[in-house]
Structure 1
Amino acid sequence: MREAGISIKKVEPKKPSGCERALAYLTSWSKTPEEWKFQKTRQTWLLLHMYDKEKVPDKYFTILLDYLQGLQGGARDKTVQKAEAFMKEFDSSDGEDPTLLEKCERIRQVLQLLS
């Protein structure tokens, strides 16, 4: 084929996105705890995006709430501080936006769990 000038392109497998990796990490924590290993980057991604229903669907959010119960130290404190700041921001807004209401409900759940 090379002699005929035909090039063959190798198709490289698509690498999972940060979202896919974080959700797989969470699923692993839930389903196979004996094989699960802590990964700070995955935890950080989850903590940054946990209020976004697009990135962390409801079925994963319930698992994430269980995961958050074990959160310790600075990560726990920072998560509570951010949630409280988001809640103050929500309280000062008009509260009409449905996506903001969904986010607020998640924030409430996290604050109830960690406070």
Structure 2
Amino acid sequence: MAKNKSKAEEKNKKKKLAESPAEGTPPKKKKLMPKVSDEGSDEAVSEVQTTENRDIEDLTPEERRVLERKLKKERKKEEKRLKRESAAVEEEEPNKVSAGGLSLQYLESWSKKRSEWKFQKTRQTWLLLNMYDREKVPDKYFTILLDYLGGLKGGARDTTVKKAEALIKECDKSETPEESDLHKMERIREVLQLLS
């Protein structure tokens, strides 16, 4: 313990000696750089720049290097902050199209450009799951979907018929059908007529 205290005392003495100027030499001035806010005027900025230039002239070469490193470090921090902010703005504005939008585009390309159209299982599955919902598949697209379902084959056709029959039974059980249920039943009947 005694050694540690004596070492600490020696360090404190060295710091005090380093901080106090030697006899005969003028004390070094520590200049603080004022920070300028974004709201500052052009006159204030130019005034600060001239003050900085005078401050730099008073510094020793070593102090200049230290100051330059600090300024460089601050510039890099500012650049990183600006990059993060711009990236955050870009993330807030996603250009992604929803699965529903892509499925409707898929359906439209099937109807208009069959030579360029390519089968996509995920798009067909989304359409089959959501075809009774007027909000997800508007009437404009439902007529195209009925044409598309005409060419449906295999397990997808059988599954669609079974689901439609189950939904009809479910809707028949409800005593007071709502308007949305009536539109849904109408669509289910159209699908069953087409596929049966």
- TM bin, normalised by shorter chain, reads over 0.9
Which residue number corresponds to residue 39 of structure 2?
none
Q: Report the TM-score when normalising by structure 1.
A: 0.93
**In 1, Cα distance between the equivalents of 2:145 and 2:176?**
25
Which of 161, 171, 188 matches 1:80? 161
Answering whether residue 145 of structure 2 is matched by residue 64 of structure 1, we say: yes
**In 2, Cα distance between the equivalents of 1:31 and 1:95?**
40
Residues 19-39 of structure 1: CA deviation (Å, up to 9, x unaligned): 000000000001111110000
Task: Report which of the two structures shows the higher radius of gyration computed on alpha carbons.
Answer: 2
Alignment of 1:9-20 (within 5 A): 9-10=86-87, 11=90, 13-20=94-101
Q: Report the TM-score when normalising by structure 2.
A: 0.56
Shift in Å, 1:96: 2.6
- Structure 1 residue runs of 5 or longer lacking an equivalent are none
Alignment of 1:1-115 (within 5 A): 3=75, 5=78, 7-8=82-83, 9-10=86-87, 11=90, 13-115=94-196
Shift in Å, 1:95: 4.1
Aligned length: 114
Shift in Å, 1:15: 1.0
Q: What's the C-alpha RMSD, in Å, of the aligned pairs?
A: 1.5
Structure showing greater relative contact order (alpha-carbon pairs closer than 8 Å, 6 or more residues apart): 1
Residues 25-66 of structure 1: CA deviation (Å, up to 9, x unaligned): 000001111110000000000000000000000000000000
Q: Greater share of helix residues, 1 or 2?
A: 2
Q: Percent of pairs identical after alignment?
A: 63
**In 1, Cα distance between the equivalents of 2:82 and 2:101?**
33
SS in 1 for 2:108: helix
**In 2, Cα distance between the equivalents of 1:76 and 1:95?**
30
**In 2, Cα distance between the equivalents of 1:81 and 1:95?**
24
Q: Are the counterparts in 2 of residues 51 and 107 from structure 1 also a CA contact under 8 Å?
A: yes
